[in-house]
Amino acid sequence: MARDPHARFVILCTREPEAAPPSAVRWAAEKVCDWTTVVEIAARHRVAAFVEEACTRGAVPLPAVARDRLDATTLRTVAHALMLDAELTRLNEALAAREIPVIVLKGPVLARTIYPRLSARPYSDLDLVVRIEQADAAVAVLTGLGYREVPYEAEEARRALASTLTCGAAYHRQFVHERNGALVEVHLDPLQLGLQPVCEAERWQRALPVPGLPGALMLAPEDQLVQLAVHAHKHGFERLIWVKDLDLLLRAYRTTLNQDLAVRVARQEGVAASLWLAIRLARSLLRTPGTAALEARLRPSPVLRFLYGLVWPTHRTYNLRGRMRRRAVQFHAAESLRGMVPSFVLFGRRRDRAQAILSHLLQR
């Protein structure tokens, strides 16, 4: 558990009620010395709604200023999510009219499927996956609807060297709406590892309809689990809401999740250790039940566990101070050895990574 009393309180509030009884929440509240810090942490980690609910459930007497700021944070995030939701409907209809299938990732899907209501899962952008052969058509749809592309550093660097690179894969492209500021990221694969994905055709075959969004698709639970783990890991678990995604997903599909499939996909994509770390954090931070067997199947070697502890220190994550380690997770061939070696050491598919590194060295 976190040593910082403010982080500890926010974590307890984000747990499901059976994992954080009212007495525990009240005890943690007694240790809080600065409620402004609590509000700032809750807003940064996008769990303000959970903090409000836990305080109500536990009869925690929040100072009026803190209560007002939590209410304002929740209202702002809900308003932004509603705007994005309307934009998603418009985009989905336009893409469907051009017969471009789309897989929607993260927030909009999770809010509709595993969260109790929309306000509990805020999101600030839309992540859409399209097939590589339809990428240009999808971009044309976005520009026709008033979006303009804005630079994404990693993708710009890769595209600048595309004629000389024989390894690596595309990252996402970013688009902002000229009028309402909505941000849309267009992906060609949901993992964004910088290597050509192994299981992409299977992911599309397993994709399921999104409830309440006709024509749109979402990843199957097993693929969602892997994608959410990799995304949170890439960002260094900077936001507690990403761990909550994993917590609720594992709870929702506890009896139906095909663990064999999830493990196979994670291993084939070279992210088994990433999935292990994410599940381990969900269990330790939020008391996610029924994860011991899956965690044991994914546990990496002692050496790799030691390295993970150095790159992603447990004390930082537990105190809600995670930091992005982009090059440690993603393979950045355009950045030469600096962008390729860290993920070679820390992730799987080392043969593919070694071949890419060798190819780069031979081209110099």
Q: What is the pLDDT along the chain (364 residues), one digit of tens a residue?
A: 668 999 999 999 999 999 999 999 999 999 999 999 999 999 999 999 999 999 999 889 889 999 999 999 989 998 999 999 999 999 999 999 999 999 999 999 999 999 998 889 999 999 999 999 999 999 999 999 999 999 876 566 556 555 455 556 777 889 999 899 999 999 999 999 988 899 999 999 999 999 989 889 999 999 999 999 999 999 999 999 999 999 999 999 999 999 999 999 999 999 999 999 999 999 999 999 999 999 999 999 999 999 999 999 999 999 999 988 888 888 887 777 888 889 889 999 989 888 878 876 776 5
C-alpha 212 chain-centroid distance: 22
Where are the extended beta strands (E) located within 38-157? 103-105, 126-129, 147-150
Q: What is the CATH number of the domain that holds 107?
A: 3.30.460.40
Residue 216 pLDDT: 94
Number of structural domains in the chain: 1
Q: Could you tell me which of 101, 361, 127, 145 has the C-alpha nearest to residue 230?
A: 127
Report the C-alpha gap between 108 and 254 in whole angstroms: 21
Q: Write down the pLDDT at residue 165.
A: 54
User: How does pLDDT run across 164-185, given as a tens digit for each residue?
Assistant: 555 567 778 899 998 999 999 9
What pLDDT, on a 0 to 100 scale, did the predictor assign at position 160?
A: 55
> Which DSSP category does 33 fall into?
S
| pLDDT score, position 1 | 60
Query: Could you give the 3-state DSSP secondary structure of residue 347?
Result: coil
Enclosing domain of residue 62:
5-363
Closest CA to 186 of 121, 234, 140: 140
Question: What are the residue ranges of helices labelled H in 145-258?
Answer: 153-160, 200-206, 221-234, 240-252
Q: Are 311 and 328 in contact (CB under 8 A)?
A: yes
Specify whether the CB–CB gap between 113 and 212 falls below 8 A: no
Taking only the tens place, the pLDDT of each residue in 36-51 is 999 999 999 999 999 9
Residues 6+ apart with CB under 8 A from 172: 127, 152, 155, 185, 186, 187, 188, 192
pLDDT score of 337: 81
What is residue 256's predicted lDDT score, i.e. its pLDDT?
96
Three-state DSSP at 248 gives helix
